[in-house]
């Protein structure tokens, strides 16, 4: 079957190569399907461009990649689903073809997201195996389930995805933006407000990822973003991967998200040797102040010290004000962070709630903080709704004493400030 894949992500702060779509191409081709990609990221007239693309590329099925529901910012939030559902409608009216959606937005919601977008089918999670299976079924005249669980279907660990073949990387790479490169999917922690929590860890074979890193360099990329939920999900596999990347000596710089543990001197050295100049460390004030979590002050200090010794700069993302916290616990967390070797600390006091983080919602509702945003007639929480446990004006005042600390208001991502 001919499959038309549409990149609907038009948010450009910063522009992000639709790596998720690229990861569908080889698996679909291996199942005998033909793929074209319509990239609307830089389009000035997306609906018209989509319709003329569909006129020029006859297809049997249209797949929409939906990366973001919204910017998740409290201030100046941008909500993307209305524009995307208009694109879906335009494509359906013009072609009458079946429509399928997928993408990282499915971490936030599944069936409600499918309904909001107006697509027939949705793949929730990884598409490498699940999407070709859906296309196979449609080719045979079968009706797949409305929502397919991509996490259960899994990935092809040994596959090295061809990069930059069906996409023009040119406009993305201007200004030195990194290209996404994935080693692992999933996360084994369950942080209260995180949609990435408690997902199976799906690990790719190291040689396949390293080959793909080389193909990124060949496609003109000088920087990569290792777009795993957290790069350091463990010590052993992470160090094996970084060691292989360092040995390849590709000259590719990279960055990524880390959590405070596990981390050791070897990982800091291998990160540096494999091209990492800076990284983002994610922490929250509850874990830093309560003294009984998976990590504490000592771990964060050690992480930052090992990075500094290895010549890797650290940008910290701090989520502040969990249910049950008070000014005192947030001050404790800020005090810890003011003593670590970090280049910048972005502090976010608004926790975006989602349908897929019900534990967080229950805690939020039963606590002394407030629910803000679209609090009515929004059970799916697709429209932006937040928990706020700490007064932002008070926080702004406290932060003003150290110019490395920034109250996150939107518009940049933390690592861009390094």
- Binding residue for ligand SF4, selected from 197, 204, 269, 383, defined by CB under 6 A: 197
Q: What's the number of CA atoms in the CB half-sphere (13 Å) around residue 208?
A: 15
Identify the CA nearest to 172 among candidates 9, 311, 410, 309. 9
Non-local (6+) Cβ contacts of 393 within 8 A are none
Query: What tokens appear for 368 in the block?
Result: 């002394």
Identity of the residue, 381 or 395, whose beta carbon is nearer to ligand B12 in the bound complex: 381
Eight-class DSSP state of 146: S
- Residue 63 interacts, among ligand B12, ligand SF4, none and using kind-specific CB cut-offs from 5 to 8 Å, with ligand B12
Among 125-133, 185-193, 202-210, 301-309, the segment contacting ligand SF4 (CB under 6 A)? 185-193
In angstroms, the Cα distances linking 124 to 67, 293, 380 are: 12, 30, 15
Identity of the residue, 15 or 157, whose beta carbon is nearer to ligand B12 in the bound complex: 15
SS3 53: helix
Identity of the residue, 216 or 334, whose beta carbon is nearer to ligand B12 in the bound complex: 216
DSSP string of 259-315, one letter each residue: -SSS--HHHHHHHHHTTBSEEEEEEEHHHHHHS-SS--HHHHHHHHHHHHHHT-EEE
Binding status of residue 285 toward ligand SF4 by CB under 6 A: no
- Binding residue for ligand SF4, selected from 61, 69, 72, 194, defined by CB under 6 A: 194
| Core vs surface per residue 120-137: b (16+ CB within 10 A) or e | bbbbbbbbbbbbbbbbbe
Binding status of residue 269 toward ligand SF4 by CB under 6 A: no
Identity of the residue, 22 or 196, whose beta carbon is nearer to ligand SF4 in the bound complex: 196
Rg (CA), the chain: 21
- Binding residue for ligand SF4, selected from 26, 50, 181, 191, defined by CB under 6 A: 191
**Smallest distance, Å, CB 108 to ligand B12?**
5
Q: What's the number of CA atoms in the CB half-sphere (13 Å) around residue 257?
A: 20
Query: Given the rule CB under 6 A, which residues bind ligand B12?
Result: 9, 11-12, 14-16, 19-21, 23-24, 63-65, 67-73, 100-105, 107-108, 123, 126-128, 131, 178-180, 182, 194-196, 225, 227, 229, 413
SS3 content of the chain, % helix, strand, coil (to 5): 35, 20, 45
Binding status of residue 383 toward ligand SF4 by CB under 6 A: no
- Residue 154 interacts, among ligand B12, ligand SF4, none and using kind-specific CB cut-offs from 5 to 8 Å, with none
Site for ligand SF4 in 3-32 (CB under 6 A): none
Q: Count residues contacting ligand SF4 (CB under 6 A)?
A: 10
Binding status of residue 230 toward ligand SF4 by CB under 6 A: yes
């Amino acid at each position: 079957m001919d499959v038309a894949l549409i990149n609907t992500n038009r948010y450009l702060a910063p522009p992000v190569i639709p790596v998720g779509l690229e990861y569908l191409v080889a698996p679909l081709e291996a199942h005998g399907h033909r793929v074209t990609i319509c990239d609307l990221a830089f389009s000035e007239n997306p609906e018209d461009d989509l319709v003329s693309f569909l006129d020029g590329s006859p297809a049997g099925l249209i797949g929409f990649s939906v990366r973001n529901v919204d910017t998740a910012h409290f201030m100046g939030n941008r909500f993307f689903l209305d524009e995307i559902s208009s694109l879906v409608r335009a494509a359906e009216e013009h072609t009458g073809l079946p429509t399928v959606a997928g993408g990282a937005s499915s971490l936030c919601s599944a069936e409600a997201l499918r309904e909001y977008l107006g697509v027939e089918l949705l793949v929730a999670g990884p598409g490498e195996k699940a999407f070709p299976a859906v296309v196979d079924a449609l080719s045979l005249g079968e009706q797949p389930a409305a929502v397919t669980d991509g996490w259960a279907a899994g990935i092809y660990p040994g596959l090295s995805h061809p990069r930059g073949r069906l996409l023009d990387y040119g406009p993305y790479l201007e200004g030195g933006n990194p290209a996404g490169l994935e080693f692992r999917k999933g996360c084994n922690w369950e942080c209260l407000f995180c949609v990435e929590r408690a997902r199976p860890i799906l690990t790719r074979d190291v040689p396949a990822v390293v080959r793909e890193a080389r193909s990124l360099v060949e496609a003109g990329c000088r920087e990569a973003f290792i777009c795993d939920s957290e790069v350091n999900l463990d010590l052993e596999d992470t160090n094996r991967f970084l060691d292989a990347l360092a040995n390849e000596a590709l000259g590719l710089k990279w960055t990524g998200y880390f959590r405070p543990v596990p981390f050791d001197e070897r990982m800091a050295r291998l990160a540096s040797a494999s091209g990492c100049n800076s990284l983002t460390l994610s922490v929250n004030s509850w874990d830093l102040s309560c003294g009984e979590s998976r990590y504490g002050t000592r771990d964060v200090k050690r992480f930052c010290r090992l990075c500094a010794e290895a010549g890797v700069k650290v940008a910290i993302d701090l989520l502040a004000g969990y249910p049950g916290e008070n000014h005192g616990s947030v001050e404790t967390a800020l005090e810890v962070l003011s003593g670590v070797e970090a280049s910048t600390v972005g502090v976010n006091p608004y926790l975006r709630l989602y349908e897929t983080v019900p534990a967080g919602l229950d805690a939020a509702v039963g606590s002394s903080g407030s629910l803000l945003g679209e609090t009515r007639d929004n059970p799916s929480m697709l429209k932006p709704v937040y928990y706020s446990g700490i007064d932002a004006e008070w926080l702004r005042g406290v932060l003003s004493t150290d110019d490395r600390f920034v109250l996150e208001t939107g518009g940049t991502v933390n690592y861009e400030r390094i």
